[in-house]
């Protein structure tokens, strides 16, 4: 993809961040749409991290999302689109539950510590769980799904279930992308997570999907991912 196409993709994305004050990164080579935490297109990974005190202003405790817990805090637009998507899945005979929406920096820190301990702090574990500040869940724009409400920790097998397959094929229609596709670990910096979907808006999600269902956010916006390797 050439520079012109990338610029066009960014213009087409046309998200207007509500605040330009905070940035995720000192990386001045990236456009502000990708570095502003409140932007729908914010890039969050092990290099581009969120401020410790960042809490989205659009968070809503959604009591109507079908989930494994009673209340899911989530970005309001993301929650509404998720509900629309889950309804469509339900109409197609697919059962989906939300495991996690927004997770605070502190909660991510606790989650990271406990998961790392469970995984014996191995090098590979770092590709399986995001450290605090590195998790898209802190943006309120990411959702982990399961088809089994008794299973709060989905595995890669989820990708082979009807629910996993349905999401893979249809999530973009509701503005969600598969954020960590299979075989793209070197680009995203994280292992395949068929349960983790990231809201970017219908237009961008569809454009990414149309370049191939395993196209990564990084590839679409031509982000230098050498640091993720």
Nearer to Zn ion, 10 or 193 (CB): 193
| Residue 142 β-bridge partners | 198
Residue of 205, 218, 136 lying closest to 228 (CA atoms): 218
Work out the burial of residue 193: count CB atoms within 10 Å of its CB; fewer than 13 is exposed, 13-18 middle, 19 or more buried. buried
Catalytic residue chosen out of the listed positions 4, 33, 173, 193: 193
Contacting Zn ion within 116-145 (CB under 5 A): 144
Q: Whole-number minimum distance, CB 143 to Zn ion, in Å?
A: 7
Is 193 considered catalytic here?
A: yes
**Are 228 and 188 within 8 A, CB to CB?**
yes
Q: Residue from 196, 197, 204, 208 that binds Zn ion (CB under 5 A)?
A: 196
Q: Is 219 in the site for Zn ion (CB under 5 A)?
A: no
Q: Whole-number minimum distance, CB 130 to Zn ion, in Å?
A: 8
Q: Whole-number minimum distance, CB 106 to Zn ion, in Å?
A: 17
Alpha helices (H) in the chain, listed in sequence order: 3-13, 32-35, 76-91, 105-118, 162-170, 185-188, 202-210, 217-220
Q: Is 45 in the site for Zn ion (CB under 5 A)?
A: no
Catalytic residue numbers? 193
Using CB under 5 A as the criterion, which residues of the chain lie in contact with Zn ion when the complex forms?
144, 196
């Amino acid at each position: 993809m050439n520079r012109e196409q990338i610029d066009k993709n960014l213009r087409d994305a046309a998200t207007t961040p509500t605040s330009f004050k905070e940035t995720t990164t000192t990386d001045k080579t990236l456009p502000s749409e990708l570095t502003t935490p409140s932007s729908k297109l914010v890039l969050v990974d092990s290099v581009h991290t969120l401020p410790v005190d960042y809490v989205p202003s659009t968070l809503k405790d959604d009591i109507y999302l079908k989930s494994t817990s009673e209340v899911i805090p989530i970005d309001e637009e993301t929650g509404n689109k998720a509900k629309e998507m889950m309804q469509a899945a339900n109409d197609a005979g697919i059962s989906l539950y939300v495991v996690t929406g927004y997770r605070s920096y502190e909660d991510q820190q606790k989650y990271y510590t406990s998961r790392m301990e469970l995984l014996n702090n191995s090098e590979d574990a770092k590709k399986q769980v995001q450290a605090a500040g590195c998790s898209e869940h802190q943006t309120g724009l990411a959702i982990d799904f399961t088809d089994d409400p008794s299973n709060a920790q989905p595995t890669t097998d989820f990708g082979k279930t009807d629910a996993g397959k349905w999401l893979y094929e249809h999530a973009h229609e509701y503005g969600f992308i598969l954020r960590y596709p299979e075989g793209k670990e070197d680009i995203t910096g994280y292992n395949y997570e068929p349960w983790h979907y990231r809201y970017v808006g219908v237009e961008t999600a569809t454009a990414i999907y149309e370049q191939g269902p395993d196209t990564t956010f990084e590839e679409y916006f031509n982000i230098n991912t050498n640091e993720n390797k």
